[in-house]
Structure 1
Amino acid sequence: MYEKDDPRSSLATATAPRPDSGAAIAAAQYFDLHRLAPPGAATPDARTAVVRAQNVVLAHTEARTGDDLDNGTLDGELAVVVTGASPAFTVVTGEGSTRVDTPGLVVVPPGASRISVHDDGPLIRLVEAAEPAWRDRAANAEAYAADHPRVALLERWPEPVGGPAVRFYPLAGVPEDPARFGRIFRTRSFMVNFLPELDGPRDPHKLSPHTHDDFEQLSLAVRGQYVHHIRTPWLGDSSQWRDDEHVRLGSPSLAIIPPPTVHTSEASDPEVNQLIDIFSPPRTDFSEKPGWVLNADDYPMP
């Protein structure tokens, strides 16, 4: 599935696919986040696009200076994905406040929290799909009226070392490493991979079509444009077959890629392109690779 120089070629899942279950294969989903929530809308809620997958809800807010974003009182952790375009902000919990003004991943413990915004720009929040206040807001809630049989349900990984706390993992000081696939962080419920910025289009002769056995991939485009190439395997029921898809999306956008579709994403903007991949629960195969998960000391494996 991968070229020999692709670090994913050494993953256990790259060489040992599971026998097929025969269950129905879900359709891929594609979202232009600014179309769902116009960035010029007056209120933070109206500027927030909410989309869900089986186990995770993603909320993309075009925040403005002075916005006060209420995360609610959550049973699980909240993660905030901070990009180079994100504003400075302060996370406020019952334990105090934490200011963030550089890209990375913020993890907020269960309970009540708010985000006070100091500049303009996008903020991306992740919550567990079991959180009803967020789950019910999702634009695609109907797509998950029933659980997708091929997607493993979330079971939280162990508590972080030292117990619940606001933690910030900055990207600064974490150089790209060709032996490691992106810059990966995990929580009890999520895994976020900040893929490298690509200058110009991806070489169409060096794509990496591959499959996943039992988890969805959320590919969030934060810069540039991507063509998501998706092929649904043929099962015995030909009424469920789908044509190959080659869907072009700008940014910000989200593609939800179901198992076991064959997929690869091709950067196509002549300038800068960047994807952030999100998984829930965290990927075991990535976690088993020494040095790949940058905050593994804080968040142990099961």
Structure 2
Amino acid sequence: MTIPVREATQARHYAEPPQITGEAGSRTWLTRGANFVVAVSQVTPGARLERADNPDEYFLLLPPDLSATVEAGGETIEAAGDSVTILPPGRSAITARTAGYLARVFSREAQDLMARAGNADRYADGAPEVAPLEPWPEPVGGYRIRHYRLADYELGASAAMPSKLFRSRSLMVNMFESTDQPRDTAKLSPHWHDDFEQASVLLQGTYKHHLRYPWVPNMAEWRDDDHGEYGAPSTLIIPARVIHTSRKINYGPAVFIDIFSPPRLDFSMRPGVVLNADEYPMPAGA
């Protein structure tokens, strides 16, 4: 039986109402894939984002102009802007120190957030085309806050667009290096993923995402190519088997992030690509 190709979720948060409004005026948009949910929040100083008992780790992604206090696992740290933080399971809180947009990334274990996502109805079928999430081994030294200032790391040994990759047991984030120029249209990288999705999150800047859906036997189900323009903040969920490439079209900075779940084995097998690989072992036999 041929599994239909899922339609991409194109969430332009700046044009949509949030799923959650906080007491301090924070606004949060939730967009899910089969194995993860992305929470993009607009915050002001003092805004507090809490999880009473999150079942597993999650990521906090801060752009350069936004800092926050992070409390989790009995620890408290000051998370600098332009950083990646992994929070341990259990109770946690993030208090914004400056205003702006931030992103948190949760695995499918955060069922309350998955259910509230703006596109939750698109996954009523369980997404049979996506490989199931099986968490990788526990981190070296156990669960704790892990904070990574991007300025402390050299660019990973990845191709196409310079970036810095980090992984947890269930998630992988790819933080792209910002440039002041639009992407060279002679150096794009169209590709697809056989059995996993990709979320592309934009917290600053303007991008075009180019999507091409594969043909299926029934011509009535064919979809036209999509060349949508996205401002910030926005989230695109790219389904498995959809050919895609993205390009920055603005001059000036941008904050652009790709997200995968489970962590990509192909990236993880390449030395120097995943910058915290020594903290998160790969599965046995990988």
Aligned match for 2:197, one of 193, 197, 216: 216
Aligned match for 1:119, one of 94, 98, 101: 98
- 2:135 is aligned with 1:174: no
Q: Deviations over 1:151-198 (max 9, x none)?
A: 112111110000111111110122336656510000011100111113
- 2:107 is aligned with 1:142: no
Partner of 1:290: 271
**In 1: Cα distance, 2:156 partner to 2:54 partner:** 35
Aligned length: 279
- 2:261 is aligned with 1:261: no
**In 2: Cα distance, 1:177 partner to 1:130 partner:** 29
Partner of 2:72: 93
Measured after TM superposition, the shift of residue 251 of structure 1 is 1.3
Measured after TM superposition, the shift of residue 230 of structure 1 is 0.5
Partner of 2:15: 35
Q: Deviations over 1:76-113 (max 9, x none)?
A: 11210111132x21111241212212322111111111
- 2:153 is aligned with 1:151: no
Q: Deviations over 1:46-88 (max 9, x none)?
A: 61111111111111111111112112311111210111132x2
Q: Which amino acid aligns with 1:100?
A: A
Q: Which amino acid aligns with 1:247?
A: G
Secondary structure of 1:113's match?
strand
Tell me whether 280-289 or 235-244 shows the greater mean CA deviation.
235-244
**In 2: Cα distance, 1:194 partner to 1:239 partner:** 38
Aligned match for 1:64, one of 44, 49, 52: 44
**In 2: Cα distance, 1:272 partner to 1:92 partner:** 30
After TM superposition, the structure 1 = structure 2 runs for residues 5-24 of structure 1, keeping only pairs within 5 Å, are 22-24=2-4
Secondary structure of 1:136's match?
helix
**In 1: Cα distance, 2:136 partner to 2:157 partner:** 28
Q: Which amino acid aligns with 1:248?
A: E
**In 2: Cα distance, 1:166 partner to 1:76 partner:** 12
Q: Which amino acid aligns with 2:93?
A: R
Secondary structure of 1:172's match?
helix
**In 2: Cα distance, 1:158 partner to 1:27 partner:** 32
Partner of 1:226: 207
Q: Which amino acid aligns with 1:112?
A: R
Distance 1:63 1:288, change over 3 A: same
**In 1: Cα distance, 2:49 partner to 2:91 partner:** 12
**In 1: Cα distance, 2:73 partner to 2:267 partner:** 34
Measured after TM superposition, the shift of residue 34 of structure 1 is 2.4
Q: Which amino acid aligns with 2:15?
A: R
Structure 1: runs of 5 or more not aligned: 1-20
Partner of 1:107: 86
The answer to whether the 8 A contact 2:27-2:42 is kept is yes
Secondary structure of 1:300's match?
coil
The answer to whether the 8 A contact 1:156-1:189 is kept is yes
**In 2: Cα distance, 1:48 partner to 1:179 partner:** 31
Instruction: Give identity over the alignment, percent.
Output: 39
**In 2: Cα distance, 1:81 partner to 1:273 partner:** 14
**In 2: Cα distance, 1:83 partner to 1:43 partner:** 23
Structure 2: runs of 5 or more not aligned: none
Tell me whether 140-149 or 92-101 shows the greater mean CA deviation.
92-101
Q: Which amino acid aligns with 1:85?
A: D
Partner of 2:175: 194
Tell me whether 93-102 or 103-112 shows the greater mean CA deviation.
93-102
Displaced runs of 4+ in structure 1, greater than 6 A? none
Q: Which amino acid aligns with 2:63?
A: T
The answer to whether the 8 A contact 1:44-1:69 is kept is no
